[in-house]
């Protein structure tokens, strides 16, 4: 299948093209402002499907709205018609097409032109009125509040929020791309005369800003956002894509003594926390038990033994562990336990606990195994 993508250098175009290639669509005609105009004829002659994503939303002069959103659409359709190519054509419009501003008027004009073309040429046409689209590779300080907030907060720049109570309808770029690729197989989501991305997130501007600031602070507290919330998960992925190139990494606080070290890595209020424990040779750590707190130990380097004893029993249970064999050992409640490094190098253990450590209620009681 030969696919023509106009606006190929834009936010949606870039994301769509890379995913089309991921799915083994190899014949992709990329058309942007930098493309030689003469190539449009060749592309329109051969295309089996057209994603018309080109448009203007931040012109220097308002007249450019009609030139970019109506004028080029007209040129595209005339070229397809010249070669009697009645392949399906998708156009990216905007929810602002319902409004009376210059941008909305130009978008609605492009929609109407496509609908007329569909009737006259007998071609399948798909009109998507996108709400605010967010995700990686969106240009900040341009036409996306989410991109601007993510970029500025990640780079310690100020932001401006006129009304935090304004509700926004947003669609995530991966959901947009999934819907557009579905359209290639005639599985588009049609609502009346228009097509829509099935997953739309409604949230206030203030809530978005609060979330993004919490992402920035999460590094200091080793917290990870609640990934069970679909919007939070998508916004967090978006935020990370705007980190400065020299700030991809961040340090963790290592608690070091002569036995080795213990470092908290990730904390989640809903799923507990993950830590990294390093034990020096011949060192034994632990010798305590818990009422409710439970843990999982995974030795990833070195070798040793994990010992258990039920607090009202004399029987000692031993599990020999090694980084050469990935095995998770559950630490049950009511059993005092320890872990000893039997090797001559440091032993590294990944430890998960079902709850965050609370110094006011540690639920940890010393007792030799």
Six-digit token pair at 164? 């935090």
In angstroms, the CA 57 to CA 147 distance is 15
pLDDT tens digits for range 282-332: 999 999 999 999 999 999 999 999 999 999 999 999 999 999 999 999 999
User: pTM of the prediction?
Assistant: 0.91
CA diameter of the chain: 90
Whether residue 181 is predicted with pLDDT greater than 70 in this model: the reply is yes
pLDDT tens digits for range 227-261: 999 999 999 999 999 999 999 999 999 999 999 99
Active-site residue, 103 included: yes
Whether residue 61 is predicted with pLDDT greater than 70 in this model: the reply is no
- What pLDDT score does 101 carry? 80
- What pLDDT score does 5 carry? 98
Q: What is the CA radius of gyration of the chain?
A: 29
Q: Which of 31, 70, 103, 242 is catalytic?
A: 103
- What pLDDT score does 142 carry? 86
Question: In terms of pLDDT, which residue wins out, 57 or 38?
Answer: 38
- What pLDDT score does 24 carry? 97
Query: Locate tokens 């359209």: which residue?
Result: 183
Confidence of residue 164 (pLDDT cuts 50, 70, 90): very high
Residue 346 exposed, middle or buried by CB count within 10 Å (0-12, 13-18, 19+): middle
Strand 272-279, strand 260-268: pairing: antiparallel
Question: In terms of pLDDT, which residue wins out, 99 or 163?
Answer: 163
Average pLDDT (333-345) is 98
In angstroms, the CA 2 to CA 29 distance is 7
């Amino acid at each position: 299948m030969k696919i023509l993508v106009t606006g190929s250098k834009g936010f949606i175009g870039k994301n769509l093209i890379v995913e089309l290639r991921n799915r083994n669509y190899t014949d992709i005609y990329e058309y942007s402002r930098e493309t030689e105009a003469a190539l449009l004829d060749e592309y329109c002659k051969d295309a089996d499907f057209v994603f018309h994503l080109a448009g203007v939303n931040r012109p220097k002069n308002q007249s450019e709205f009609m030139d970019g959103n109506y004028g080029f659409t007209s040129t595209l359709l005339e070229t397809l018609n010249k070669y009697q190519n009645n392949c399906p054509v998708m156009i990216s419009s905007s929810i602002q097409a319902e409004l009376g501003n210059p941008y909305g008027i130009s978008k609605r004009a492009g929609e109407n032109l496509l609908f007329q073309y569909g009737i006259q040429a007998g071609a399948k046409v798909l009109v998507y009125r996108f709400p605010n689209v967010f995700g990686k590779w969106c240009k900040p300080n341009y036409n996306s509040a989410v991109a601007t907030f993510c970029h500025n907060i990640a780079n310690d720049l100020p932001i401006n929020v006129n009304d935090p109570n304004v509700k926004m309808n947003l669609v995530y770029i991966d959901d947009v791309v999934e819907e557009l690729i579905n359209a290639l197989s005639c599985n588009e989501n049609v609502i009346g005369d228009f097509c829509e991305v099935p997953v739309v997130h409604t949230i206030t501007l203030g809530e978005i800003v609060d979330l993004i600031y919490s992402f920035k602070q999460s590094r200091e507290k080793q917290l990870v956002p609640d990934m069970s919330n679909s919007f939070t998960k998508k916004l967090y992925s978006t935020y990370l894509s705007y980190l400065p190139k020299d700030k991809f990494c961040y340090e963790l606080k290592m608690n070091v003594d002569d036995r080795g070290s213990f470092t908290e890595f990730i904390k989640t209020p809903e799923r507990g926390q993950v830590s990294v424990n390093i034990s020096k040779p011949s060192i034994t750590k632990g010798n305590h038990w818990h009422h409710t707190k439970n843990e999982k130990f995974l030795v990833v380097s070195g070798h040793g033994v994990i010992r258990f004893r039920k607090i009202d029993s004399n029987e000692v249970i031993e599990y020999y562990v090694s980084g050469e064999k990935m095995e998770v050992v559950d630490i049950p409640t009511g059993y005092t336990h320890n872990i000893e490094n039997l090797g001559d190098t440091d032993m590294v253990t990944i430890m998960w606990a079902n709850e965050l450590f609370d110094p006011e209620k540690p639920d940890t009681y010393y007792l030799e195994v």
